[in-house]
Amino acid sequence: MDKLKALMERYGKVAIYLHFGVYLACLCLSTAAIHLGAGSLFDLDLDLAGAAWLAERWGAFGVSVAGGYACTQLLKLPRIALTLGFTPILARWLGHSEPATP
């Protein structure tokens, strides 16, 4: 987490936008995969205790969003690694000037 904080201080908005962009992409893709039935590709028969309660109140898409959020949280470390690896590359490509060292 210290590396992520240092990266945020060094690159500012570039790092923040990339990090949240990766977060939103992960959330949307995992939600879509669950909603479209990616579990059925692997013959997963998940009987979640809270899924029926959630489906009654939010519908099938609500269950997909909850599952997508859970998958996104499970992928937190790879998302941070992706942010750490690609922020300097993206900043260079965008022409972001490095802050002056004291």
Segment 67-75 mean pLDDT: 90
**Domain contains 101:** no
Global pTM value: 0.71
Q: How many domains does the chain have?
A: 1
**Domain contains 67:** yes
Range(s) of the domain holding residue 40: 2-94
| Per-chain mean pLDDT for the chain | 78
Q: Looking only at Cα atoms, what is the longest distance across the chain? A: 59
* Res 100 pLDDT > 50: no
Name which of 33, 53, 55, 52 is nearest 44 in CA terms.
Answer: 33
**Domain contains 80:** yes
**Domain contains 8:** yes
Q: How far apart are CA 7 and CA 15, in angstroms?
A: 7
Segment 6-28 mean pLDDT: 89
pLDDT at residue number 25? 95
Q: What 3-state DSSP class applies to 95?
A: coil
**Domain contains 100:** no
Q: How far apart are CA 29 and CA 16, in angstroms?
A: 20
* Res 101 pLDDT > 50: no
Q: Give the pLDDT confidence of 35-64 residue by residue, as tens digits.
A: 887 655 444 455 555 566 666 666 777 778
**Domain contains 43:** yes
**Domain contains 39:** yes
**Domain contains 16:** yes
pLDDT at residue number 102? 43
